Amino acid sequence: MTEVFLNLTEVFLNLTEVFLNLTEVSLNLTEVFFNLTEVFLNLTKVSLNLTEVFLNLTEVFFNLTEVFLNLTEVYLNLTEAFLNLTEVFLNLTEVFLNLTEVFLNLAEVFLNLSNVFLTLTEVFPCFFSSCKVNARVKLAKRGHGPHSSTLVVICVVRLLFVLFYVLFVCKCVLPPGDNPTAVNKYIISLR
C-alpha cells in the first residue's frame, strides 16, 4: 500500500508538473495575445493616420480643383477680352480702310478738278482773260494796280469754292445711290 501511495504521489507530482507547464504555456500564450493586441492597436493607429493623410490629400485635391476652375475662369475672361480687342481692332481697321478710301476719293476729286481747271484754261482762255481784265479794272479803281498772279489766285479760289460746294452737295446732302427717283423726291421735299 505504501508503494501505491508512492505511485499516486508520483503521478500527482507529474500531474502538478504538467499543470505547471500548461500554466506556463498559458502565460506565454497570454503574453503573445497581449503582444498581438498591441500590434493590432499599433496597426489601427497607423490605419487612422493613413486615413487622416488620405483625407488631407483629398482636401488638397479639392483645393487644387477649385484653383484650376478659377484659373479656367480667368483664362475664359482673358480669351473674351482678347476677342473683344480683336473685334475693336477689326473695326478700327475697317474705319482706317474707309478713311483711306475717302482720302483716295478726295485725291481723285482733286485730280479731276485739276484736270477740269487745266481743260478750262485750255478751252476757255477768254473766260480767264475776262476775269483778269475785270479784276484789273476793279484793282485799278481801288488804286492797287495790276497784279496778275493775285487775279489768277482769286479766280482759282472762287472756282475751287464752287466746285467743292457742288461736291459737298452731291456727296453729303443728296441721298446716296444711283436712284434718280430718290434724288427727285429729296429735291421736291426741299422746296
For 73-130, how does the pLDDT look when each residue is reduced to its tens digit (9 = 90+)?
999 999 999 999 999 989 988 888 888 888 788 877 877 777 777 676 665 555 555 5
Residue 100: what pLDDT?
84
**Rounded distance between C-alpha atoms, residue 31 and residue 155, angstroms:** 130
**Rounded distance between C-alpha atoms, residue 74 and residue 68, angstroms:** 10
pLDDT of 155 strictly over 60? yes
64 is written with which cell numbers?
487644387
pLDDT of 162 strictly over 70? yes
Provide Rg for the chain, Cα atoms: 58
- Angle (deg, nearest 10), helices 148-168 and 125-142: 120
**Rounded distance between C-alpha atoms, residue 191 and residue 185, angstroms:** 10
17 is written with which cell numbers?
508538473
Does residue 24 or residue 134 have the better pLDDT? 24
| Global pTM value | 0.39
Residue 173: what pLDDT?
58
Q: How confident is the model at residue 16 (pLDDT cuts 50, 70, 90)?
A: very high
Does residue 155 or residue 184 have the better pLDDT? 155
Q: How confident is the model at residue 151 (pLDDT cuts 50, 70, 90)?
A: low
Q: How many C-alpha atoms does 85 have within 13 Å on its Cβ side?
A: 6
Burial bucket for residue 68 (CB in 10 Å: 0-12, 13-18, 19+): exposed
Average pLDDT, the chain: 80
Spatial contact of 146 and 139, defined as CB atoms under 8 Å apart: yes
pLDDT of 136 strictly over 60? no
Q: How confident is the model at residue 71 (pLDDT cuts 50, 70, 90)?
A: very high
Does residue 164 or residue 132 have the better pLDDT? 164
